Amino acid sequence: MKETVFGFIPARIDSERLVRKALIEVGGKPLIQWTWERAKRAKQLDEVIIATDSEEIIEAVKKFGAKTVKTSQHNSGTDRIAEAVRSFAADIVINIQADEPLINPAVIDELTFLMKRDKSLVITTAAVKIDEREKVEEENIVKVVMDSNNFALYFSRSLIPYPRRRGFFYKHLGIYAYRRNFLLSFAAMPPSYLEKTEGLEQLRALEAGYKIKVVVTPYDSVGVDTKQDLEKFKALVESGSNG
């Protein structure tokens, strides 16, 4: 039986580091529209839906024709999607961060293929190999270390592994694929110690004993968390280098 795959883009109006960033216009389009348009290019998604508690975002989204679902207020995108998915017959759920306007559709498709191929997996994510020491030392860039089978051992805002010798690092890309039942169970779990310490909700799954498969992709992305990130994205758009 064919598994249905829904991409959800959780969005809120009150972002911490960059106020109202979902609606900030770049190149004549709000940031969330850039992300939605990239997600729509993925060949494996049956639907792409923006989940939000903001009437302002809903009104903005209607103007470019995206599907939306109204949710209550949530502290995390995962919890928002867990509420939204109850209204849809989705077997596999892709969590696409609203502030990833350059997410490569191939990454979405690769995660979907992996979930379809290996029924034992309940959550997968993606990472890209980088060797820029200065870049990965930023706390907004989450790092991941993996075992020999590409299952995550740990995620951190700190520099991991500690580089006693020159080496490379894996930057975590903020995209996840979940099986529906796992997502609903995960959202019902209380936040874990490591999750609260690092501010990374995927650590809740690791602490609970679940395995997170990591797809290593060559496609990096520009997450817009800060004003500096926004300026970088604007420069890419203005130069025509945004793919």
Phi, psi of 174 (to 5 degrees): -80, 60
Q: Please check whether residue 182 is in contact with residue 122, taking contact to mean a CB–CB distance below 8 angstroms.
A: yes
Angle of helix 55-63 relative to helix 31-40, nearest 10 degrees? 60
In the CATH hierarchy, which fold is given to the domain comprising 5-239?
Answer: Spore Coat Polysaccharide Biosynthesis Protein SpsA; Chain A (3.90.550)
Q: CA 134 to CA 115: how far, in whole Å?
A: 34
Q: Please check whether residue 236 is in contact with residue 220, taking contact to mean a CB–CB distance below 8 angstroms.
A: no
Q: What is the pLDDT of residue 242?
A: 61
DSSP 51-117: EES-HHHHHHHHHTT-EEEE----SSHHHHHHHHGGGS--SEEEEE-TT-TT--HHHHHHHHHHHHH
Task: Read off the tokens for 55.
Answer: 């009437």
Q: Please check whether residue 13 is in contact with residue 23, taking contact to mean a CB–CB distance below 8 angstroms.
A: yes
DSSP 177: E
Of 11, 47, 16, 7, which is closest to residue 30 (Cα–Cα)? Answer: 11
Counting Cα atoms < 13 Å in the Cβ hemisphere of 167 gives 10
Distances in whole angstroms, Cα of residue 179 to Cα of each of 93, 139, 165, 183, 222: 6, 29, 39, 6, 26
Domain boundaries, the chain: 5-239
Q: What is the pLDDT of residue 243?
A: 59
Per-residue tens of pLDDT for the chain, all 243 residues: 789 999 999 998 877 778 888 999 999 999 999 999 999 999 999 999 999 999 999 999 999 999 999 998 888 889 999 999 998 999 999 999 999 999 999 999 999 999 999 999 999 999 999 877 767 788 888 999 999 999 999 999 999 998 888 888 999 998 999 999 999 999 999 999 999 999 999 999 999 999 999 999 999 887 888 888 889 999 999 887 665
Beta bridge partners of 126: 173, 215
Q: CA 142 to CA 201: how far, in whole Å?
A: 12
Map tokens 């995550």 to a residue: 152
Of 140, 40, 48, which is closest to residue 88 (Cα–Cα)? Answer: 48
